[in-house]
């Protein structure tokens, strides 16, 4: 088969022109990339509901520079491979601003693509320090870092004067990163670390691990990872009669841990971002969520809301929809958002972000510990 | 003393998990023994068994039925029926039309079936982890030192006993019953058995049904033992059981039992004495070693070219 070069060239230039026309329409697309399905989809729900609400409210107030925001949603299943596919299709769709991804292990590979292709990314949930450590220009977050969360947990454990501490993690970027930060803090404080060990994410049988924890006679267990595994560990530990205080990062602090662990979740300690929905200046926003039948209390709802708002504010401030100009505007400015006043350092990290220790209860509620 | 107790504790943990691997492995090994194909959708059948059991238990609870033995038996029967029907249907839909073709074709068909079933449950039941009620609580201490108590939970005992009953029943069935004898004949020579008047299609279906029913038993037991299920948990369990089947000698039923136990104990000792990180490394490393040095497995007969 032969196709004349001329015809091909015409076809290509026509399709390029079409794509360009698509971008020039009076809309600003905001990609929202996170897990809609998969084992951590409940965090995705928080992300999508926060971002959707922000888009809706910004549009109701006249949009950005007279243009409407349009949310385009992508499902990465919190799987690094899927995240790369999502990032590529997002670039192909001509989206230039992304709220996402959620899991650090997805955000990391996706951010390589965004940086190369000139897409501005704000993750509302990924806390691994490596993500902003590579000198990327277009990568930001609206959440703290493991290196902030780890010391909070480590200092708290040390203040309880435990005799022997075990640290378990799921060998993933997020879990191991945070577990390492906790270990380093505990070492500095001179706490005896009896075990530092990985498990396989998705594993179900922890009987051997629990026997080992009993044998090591630990009184504190820190788990770096997500709730599906910790839920099972808690439950199987209770059945096996292991008497230790468990603690985990914000990745375990959601109501699904209660359906897995049941009563065994009572008393679990969790470091979480402060409850932004409790802040008095956010009550209007909280009401808007409740009127829409959404739950604003999840840890990533308002961080996602903030991510969208920052993109909008950045565009306004830069007076441009070029991601590089917007990134520059974000770095130089100071923004009032539902998570407080946001200022960025050179790397794209928040200049300040607090984590608070909560005690989790078997009915899915939490109370601050101090 | 404490070290010894710890060893026994890990042995109990390993035997528990190993006996459920063995239950699932039977399905792989029987199907391979008879038609020489690997049924990669078997792990999904096990997962569907667990979901059915959970749905039944929840349903009974809403009806107000709480008498434990009744709940367990009804859940077990429902899970076995649904899984068996599923095993039968899978064979009819995905394997029978391609039986007798090149070996790769049924294999690919099986993988397709596995992906289909996984996603079907994703859609029907959602992709989140669902908590499985712990119906059997407690346990007894079989030895204790100052700081360590070795325990067997009643759940673990239930798993041992159920597995033992299933295995004995299966062995009796295969060695004594008419269908069992036909199964053995078909596994020795499918064409010849057909000539001698055995309805081989029926026997092959029966093999799938038996394997699926045992997988359903494992699904219920492990659901209760672990405490949560999700649509993907059949996949890794399937891989482990497949490893167990190969380890013991694929095609051999006692081999599957032995392979399951060795694998379970191996995993539990690895996480007990080395680190949980190496658990899967050891089990799949074992698979590679066996394939390299004794491809027929521990109890397998030297392969006479089938098909």
Q: Which domains does chain A have, with CATH numbers?
A: 5-144+279-338 (3.40.50.2300), 147-272+356-368 (3.40.50.2300)
B159 within domain boundaries:
yes
B141 within domain boundaries:
no
Region B154-169 average pLDDT? 93
A173 band by pLDDT with thresholds 50, 70 and 90:
confident
Judged by a CB distance cut-off of 8 A, whether residue A215 touches chain B is yes
Nearest to A217 among B128, B137, B147 (CB): B147
Return the CA Rg of chain A.
Answer: 22
CB-CB under 8 Å, B230 with A239: no
Q: Could you tell me which chain A residue has the CA closest to the CA of B138?
A: A239
Residues A64-106: tens digit of each pLDDT: 988 999 999 999 999 999 999 999 999 999 999 999 899 999 9
CB-CB under 8 Å, A228 with B148: no
b/e per residue A94-103 (b: at least 16 CB within 10 A): ebbbbbbbbb
ipTM field: 0.86
B133 within domain boundaries:
no
Judged by a CB distance cut-off of 8 A, whether residue A232 touches chain B is yes
Q: Check pLDDT > 80 for residue A10.
A: no
The residue among B271, B272, B274 with the most chain A CBs within 10 A of its CB, best to mutate, is B271
B144 within domain boundaries:
no
Closest Cα in chain B, distance from residue A229 (Å): 10
Q: Number of structural domains, chain B?
A: 1
CATH number at residue B202: 1.10.3470
Q: Which domain holds residue B284?
A: 8-125+152-293
Q: Check pLDDT > 70 for residue A310.
A: yes
3-state per-residue secondary structure call for chain B: CHHHHHHHHHHHHHHHHHHHHHHHHHHHHHHHHHHCCCCCCHHHHHHHHHHHHHHHHHHHHHHCCCCHHHHHHHHHHHHHHHHHHHHHHHHHHHHHHHCCCCCHHHHHHHHHHHHHHHHHHHHHHCCCCEECCCCCCCEEEEEECCCCEEEEEHHHHHHHHHHHHHHHHHHHHHHHCHHHHHHHHHHHCHHHHHHCCCCHHHHHHHHHHHHHHHHHHHHHHHHHHHCEECCCHHHHHHHHHHHHHHHHCCCCHHHHHHHHHHHHHHHHHHHHHHCHHHHHHHHHHHHHHHHHHCCCCCCCCCCCCCC
Residue A24's pLDDT is 44
Residues A107-145: tens digit of each pLDDT: 999 999 999 999 999 999 998 888 999 989 999 999 988
Do you know the residue count of chain B? 307
Q: Are A97 and A119 in contact (CB under 8 A)?
A: yes
Residue B304's pLDDT is 55
B296 band by pLDDT with thresholds 50, 70 and 90:
confident
B258 within domain boundaries:
yes
pTM value surpassing 0.90: no
Q: Are A57 and A292 in contact (CB under 8 A)?
A: no
Q: Which of residues 348-367 of A touch B (CB under 8 A)?
A: none
Task: Find, among B110, B130, B152, the residue nearest to B238 by Cα.
Answer: B110
CB-CB under 8 Å, A240 with B272: no
B2 within domain boundaries:
no
Give the Cα separation of A129 and B245 in Å (integer). Answer: 43
B18 within domain boundaries:
yes
B72 within domain boundaries:
yes
Closest Cα in chain A, distance from residue B92 (Å): 30
């Amino acid at each position: 088969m032969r196709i004349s070069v001329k015809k091909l060239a015409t076809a290509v230039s026509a399709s390029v022109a079409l794509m360009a026309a698509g971008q020039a329409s009076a809309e600003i697309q905001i990609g929202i990339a996170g897990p809609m399905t998969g084992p951590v989809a409940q965090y995705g729900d928080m992300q999508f509901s926060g971002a959707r609400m922000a888009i809706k409210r910004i549009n109701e107030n006249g949009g950005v520079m007279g243009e409407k925001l349009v949310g385009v949603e992508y499902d990465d299943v919190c799987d690094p491979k899927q995240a790369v596919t999502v990032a590529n299709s997002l670039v192909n769709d001509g989206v230039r601003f992304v709220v996402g991804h959620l899991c650090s292990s997805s955000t990391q590979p996706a951010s390589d693509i965004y940086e190369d292709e000139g897409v501005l990314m704000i993750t509302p949930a990924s806390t691994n320090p490596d993500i902003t450590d590579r000198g990327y220009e277009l990568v930001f977050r609206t959440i703290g870092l493991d290196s902030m969360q780890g010391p909070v947990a480590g200092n708290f454990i040390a203040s309880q004067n435990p005799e022997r501490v075990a640290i378990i993690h799921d060998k993933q970027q997020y879990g191991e990163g945070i577990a390492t930060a906790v270990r380093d803090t505990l070492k500095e404080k001179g706490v005896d670390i009896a075990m530092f060990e990985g498990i396989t994410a998705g594993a179900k049988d922890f009987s051997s691990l629990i026997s080992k924890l009993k044998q090591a006679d630990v009184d504190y267990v820190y788990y770096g990872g997500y709730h599906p595994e910790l839920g099972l560990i808690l439950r199987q530990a209770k059945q096996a009669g292991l008497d230790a205080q468990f603690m985990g990062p914000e990745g375990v602090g959601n109501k699904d841990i209660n359906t897995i662990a049941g009563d065994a979740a009572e008393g679990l300690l969790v470091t979480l971002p402060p409850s932004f929905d409790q802040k008095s200046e956010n009550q209007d926003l909280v009401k808007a969520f409740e009127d829409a039948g959404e739950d604003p209390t999840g840890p990533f709802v308002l961080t996602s809301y903030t991510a969208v708002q920052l993109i909008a504010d950045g565009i306004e401030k830069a007076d441009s929809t070029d991601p590089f100009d917007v990134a520059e505007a974000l770095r130089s400015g100071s923004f009032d958002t539902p998570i407080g006043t946001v200022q960025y350092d050179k790397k794209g990290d928040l200049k300040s972000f607090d984590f608070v220790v909560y005690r989790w209860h078997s009915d899915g509620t939490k109370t601050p510990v101090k | 003393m404490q070290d010894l107790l710890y060893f026994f504790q890990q042995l109990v943990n390993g035997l528990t998990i190993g006996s459920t691997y063995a239950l699932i492995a039977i399905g792989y090994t029987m199907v391979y023994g008879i038609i020489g194909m690997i049924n990669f959708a078997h792990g999904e059948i096990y997962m569907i068994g667990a979901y059915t059991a959970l749905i039944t238990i929840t349903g009974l609870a809403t009806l107000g039925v709480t008498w434990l033995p009744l709940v367990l038996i009804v859940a077990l029967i429902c899970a076995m029926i649904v899984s068996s029907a599923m095993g039968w249907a899978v064979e009819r839909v995905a394997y029978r039309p391609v039986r007798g073709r090149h070996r790769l074709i049924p294999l690919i068909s099986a993988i397709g079936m596995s992906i289909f079933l996984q996603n079907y449950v994703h859609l029907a039941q959602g992709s989140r982890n669902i908590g499985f009620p712990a119906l059997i609580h407690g346990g007894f201490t079989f030895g204790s030192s100052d700081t360590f108590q070795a325990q067997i939970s009643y759940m673990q005992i239930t798993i041992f006993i159920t597995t033992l009953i299933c295995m004995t029943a299966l062995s009796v069935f295969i060695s004594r019953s008419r269908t069992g004898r036909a199964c053995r004949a078909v596994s020795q020579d499918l064409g010849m058995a057909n000539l001698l008047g055995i309805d081989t299609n029926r026997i092959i279906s029966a093999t799938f049904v038996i394997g699926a029913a045992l997988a359903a038993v494992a699904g219920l037991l492990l659901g209760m033992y672990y405490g949560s299920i999700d649509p993907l948990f059949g996949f890794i369990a399937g891989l482990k059981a497949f490893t167990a089947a190969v380890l013991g000698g694929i095609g051999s039923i006692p081999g599957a039992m032995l392979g399951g136990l060795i694998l379970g104990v191996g995993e539990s000792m690895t996480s007990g004495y080395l680190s949980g990180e190496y658990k899967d490394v050891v089990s799949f490393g074992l698979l590679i070693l066996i394939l390299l040095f004794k491809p027929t497995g521990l109890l397998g007969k030297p392969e006479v070219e089938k098909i």
